[in-house]
Structure 1
Amino acid sequence: MRIQRFPWAGIRIEAGDTSVVIDAVTRIPAKFGGSKEPMFPLETFGRTDAVLVTHMHEDHFDPEAIIAAYGPDIPVYVPEQGVEAARAAGLRRVTGSRIGAAYELGGDVTATAALSVDGVGDPQVAWIVEAGGRRAIHCGDTLWHGYWWSIAAAHGPFDAACLPVNGAVLELPGRIPSGQPICLTPEQAVSAAAVLQAGVLIPIHYGAIHHPPIYRETPDIAARLEAAAAGRVNLNLLRPGEMLEV
């Protein structure tokens, strides 16, 4: 199994002749100030057999880019509450995923939808991809929750955990500010990876967005990750485009 990091929160997983992408986007919404890092057409990273989506936010679901790169008939798996929106966007082969359901994606690759908690209360799943005896999990933009132990018991250990790390604090119009992060902080991501018994933590969901006061990324991410992971979790700060074999 080979894991390639995309900009922002996306990844691509290759196993044999089969590949899948998760949360692959080519843009960051203007309301968040656009992207602070380069973005690329999805075809830059190669072909794929299926697209997995953790949730329907614009920085995780980019139907125009999916259609441009892979065509409208690429199989796309979204939380079941997002099926209508995905089809309305022009995607023709949309499957609504339910927690605990497993889907065969080709070759010996399977994807299982697991519990995840969205920071603003919208439907979200984590995706577990298995192939060739290897297992990786991608948790979208989850915040800290109490399901880590049950996920580990049911599906772990994991060879890799792709977890958000930017601890973003939001001040959205019409919502009372909480001052609390809506996704994992660096320290929380390390703790989650440890509970999941991950062979390596691959940080995602950082670097592209920092647009105060609407969206504030937590500071010193790399240094805090390295300090928290020392002696506890293997850490690999993949840059966009880089690939890791697990």
Structure 2
Amino acid sequence: MFLQKLPWAGIRVLSGETSIAIDPMFHFPAKFGSSHEELFPLDEFGHADAVFVTHHHEDHFDPRAIAAYYGASIPVYVPQESVRHMTDTPLTNIQGVSLGQQIEIGELTITAGFSVDGFGDPQVSWIVEGGGKKLIHSGDTLWHGYWWKLSKAYGPFDAACLPVNGAVVEFPGMIPSGQPITLTPEQAVAAAVVLQANVLVPIHFRAVHHPPVYRETPDIAERLQQSAQNRIKLAILQSKEILPL
């Protein structure tokens, strides 16, 4: 199995002749200003047999890009509760998945696992198995109490793709909390350790920092390295970089 980093929170997983994309994005949400990392047309990463979306927020679900680069009829798997939020898209094959449900795509088996969204919206983690390897992608989850259940049910993992930007937001119409809505670097390391992951692959950082609407936590790379020391391997990937598992 190979893991390829896409911008922001996306990854592409390859096993044999099969490949899937999780949370691929090309069109940057206007509410966040301009992207702080380069975005690439999705076809520059290669083909995908199916797309898996952790939740319906526009920085994780980019239906225009999915349709344009993978085709409008590609299977797109989303949390069952998110289907009602995805009606006005060019995509023709959106399929809802329930927690614990398994999907077979070629040589890969993908399972919907626990995740907790920072705004209380439907969200899942995707657990991907193939070629004797296993990884988990947890969208933009915050810290929760399901890590131990995930570890017991599905671990250990060869890689854990976890958000690390500890975002604090002040969206219009919402009372500011001052609290992160995604994992901080230290929390991501702790979660990866509990998940019994061989390597932590940070996702969901670099692209978005647009104060006061959306503030990324500072010194991410340094904090990750300090927290991971003597605890877990760390692979901070650039877009298009491929990590063999």
* Residue 48 of structure 1 pairs with residue 48 of structure 2: yes
- Residue deviations 1:21-65, cap 9 Å, x none? 000000221111121111011001000100000000000000000
- Specify the SS of the correspondent of 1:149: helix
Shift of residue 222, structure 1, vs aligned partner:
0.1
d(CA) in 2 for partners of 1:138 and 1:212? 27
Q: Which runs of 4+ in 1 moved over 6 A?
A: none
* Residue 27 of structure 1 pairs with residue 52 of structure 2: no
d(CA) in 1 for partners of 2:78 and 2:4? 21
Q: Which residue of 2 aligns with 1:117?
A: 116
Q: Root-mean-square deviation (CA), in Å?
A: 0.8
User: Does the 8 Å contact 1:164/1:184 carry over to 2?
Assistant: yes
Shift of residue 133, structure 1, vs aligned partner:
1.2
Q: Which residue of 2 aligns with 1:38?
A: 38
Equivalenced residues, count: 245
d(CA) in 2 for partners of 1:31 and 1:88? 19
Shift of residue 244, structure 1, vs aligned partner:
0.3
The TM-score with structure 2 as length reference comes to 0.98
- Specify the SS of the correspondent of 2:86: helix
Query: Which one-letter code corresponds to 1:64 in the other structure?
Result: R
d(CA) in 2 for partners of 1:20 and 1:68? 16
* Residue 5 of structure 1 pairs with residue 10 of structure 2: no
Q: Which residue of 2 aligns with 1:16?
A: 16
* Residue 66 of structure 1 pairs with residue 66 of structure 2: yes
Gaps of at least 5 residues in structure 2 are none
User: Does the 8 Å contact 1:103/1:112 carry over to 2?
Assistant: yes
d(CA) in 2 for partners of 1:25 and 1:75? 16
User: Does the 8 Å contact 1:87/1:94 carry over to 2?
Assistant: no
Q: Which residue of 2 aligns with 1:153?
A: 152
How is 1:198-213 mapped onto 2 (pairs within 5 angstroms)? 198-213=197-212
- Residue deviations 1:78-107, cap 9 Å, x none? 11122244343021111101110000011x
Q: Which residue of 2 aligns with 1:98?
A: 98
Q: Which residue of 1 aligns with 2:137?
A: 138
Q: Which residue of 2 aligns with 1:82?
A: 82
- Residue deviations 1:130-150, cap 9 Å, x none? 001110000000000000000
* Residue 221 of structure 1 pairs with residue 220 of structure 2: yes
* Residue 167 of structure 1 pairs with residue 166 of structure 2: yes
d(CA) in 1 for partners of 2:101 and 2:168? 32
d(CA) in 1 for partners of 2:85 and 2:74? 16
- Specify the SS of the correspondent of 2:72: coil
Query: Which one-letter code corresponds to 2:243 in the other structure?
Result: L
- Specify the SS of the correspondent of 1:88: coil
**Greater displacement, 185-194 / 79-88:** 79-88
The TM-score with structure 1 as length reference comes to 0.98
% same residue: 61
Gaps of at least 5 residues in structure 1 are none
User: Does the 8 Å contact 1:27/1:35 carry over to 2?
Assistant: no
* Residue 231 of structure 1 pairs with residue 230 of structure 2: yes
**Greater displacement, 39-48 / 83-92:** 83-92
- Specify the SS of the correspondent of 2:83: helix
